[in-house]
Amino acid sequence: MTKTLAVVVAHPDDDTFGCSGTVALHADDPGFRFVLIHVTSGEAGRIADPSLATPETLGAVREEEDRASWIALGRTPDRHEFFRYPDHRVEDHPFDELVERIAMVLQAERPDAVITFGPDGITGHPDHIATGKAATEAFHRVRERSPGEGFSRLLHQAIPRSMLDEWNRRLVAAGKDPMDPTQLYQPRGVPDEEVGVLIDCTPVVDRKLAALEEHRTQAGDMEDMQEEERRMALAAESHVIAWPERAPGAAVVADVFEGL
Ligand SMILES: [Zn+2]
């Protein structure tokens, strides 16, 4: 039986952090289909090493880095779309047009589960928030206008607050500044009881690290972290179940498709 996962993110590397472990865990599952949408190509991002890209080429370079990251992980998307909206300006673009572009892909693929950003955008990044809002709207639009297969679960990526607290304890213990969730581009946490899906990616964390290394223009993103902390941060992928409504206190599931 086929199970399709669609992931809608803003930038090349959002996918590596947020869902590559889940994909690696399903890599050998013959019924697994993986659809990936990038709303932007990240062309306004950092260039860690000027020999890798210029501001003019960064978007194309980051698309290639993303493709390479999935090859390094060992499972490439079955369908991979780059919408090439302007990086850092997704929210300035007509919202309805973005919703419809995402909806067209979702309608064709009828995924069982969709992962995107929630209202915190993980780091408060406006592109993440706008992308999550559009993908959430697209999910419901297609689900309501053409009922049928798929659309069983909408997930919003989220970091359990206890995990963020643990990272901060470790950073402070190492004499570093803790992350501050009130600042833009710093990770936010959600109350642990709101997390409905918690995936243990420990068995595939090496593959996730290999995938992350391919984002060479973004090297240094996790440089504040020790190796052990970096592995810890990558070893869990967690989500709030945005739809259907989850009963308070319901059991946390260990896979995006569990129970579907
Ligand atoms: Zn991003």
Q: Report the C-alpha gap between 238 and 157 in whole angstroms.
A: 6
What's residue 224's pLDDT? 67
Cα(11) to centroid(ligand 1), Å: 5
Cα(53) to centroid(ligand 1), Å: 18
Amino acid of residue 123: T
Cα(10) to centroid(ligand 1), Å: 5
Phi/psi of residue 26, each to 5°? Answer: -100, 5
Amino acid of residue 184: L
**Is the predicted pLDDT of residue 135 greater than 90, yes or no?**
yes
Cα(1) to centroid(ligand 1), Å: 32
Cα(220) to centroid(ligand 1), Å: 15
Q: What is the pLDDT of residues 64-91, one digit of tens each?
A: 999 999 999 999 999 999 999 999 999 9
Cα(8) to centroid(ligand 1), Å: 11
Please compute, for residue 198, the number of CA atoms within 13 A of its CA located in the half-sphere on the CB side.
15
Cα(225) to centroid(ligand 1), Å: 19
3-class state of residue 74 by DSSP: coil
What's residue 248's pLDDT? 84
Chain-centre distance of CA 248, in angstroms?
25
The predicted model scores a pTM of 0.96
Q: What is the pLDDT of residues 148-207, one digit of tens each?
A: 999 999 999 999 999 999 989 988 998 888 989 899 999 999 999 999 999 999 999 999
Tokens of 139: 């999910």
What's residue 232's pLDDT? 87
Cα(161) to centroid(ligand 1), Å: 20
Q: Is 220 left (phi over 0), alpha (psi -120 to 50) or beta?
A: left
- 195-211 in b/e form (b: 16+ CB < 10 A) is bbbbbebeebbebbbbb
Residue 256: DSSP 8-state: T
| Percentage of the residues of the chain whose pLDDT score is greater than 70 | 100
Cα(146) to centroid(ligand 1), Å: 30
What's residue 223's pLDDT? 72
Cα(163) to centroid(ligand 1), Å: 20
40 close to 11: Cβ distance less than 8 angstroms: yes
Give the CA-trace dihedral at 111, 90, 80, 53, to 10 degrees. Answer: -160
| Percentage of the residues of the chain whose pLDDT score is greater than 90 | 87
Cα(111) to centroid(ligand 1), Å: 22
Q: Report the C-alpha gap between 16 and 32 in whole angstroms.
A: 18
Cα(157) to centroid(ligand 1), Å: 12
Cα(41) to centroid(ligand 1), Å: 10
Cα(19) to centroid(ligand 1), Å: 13
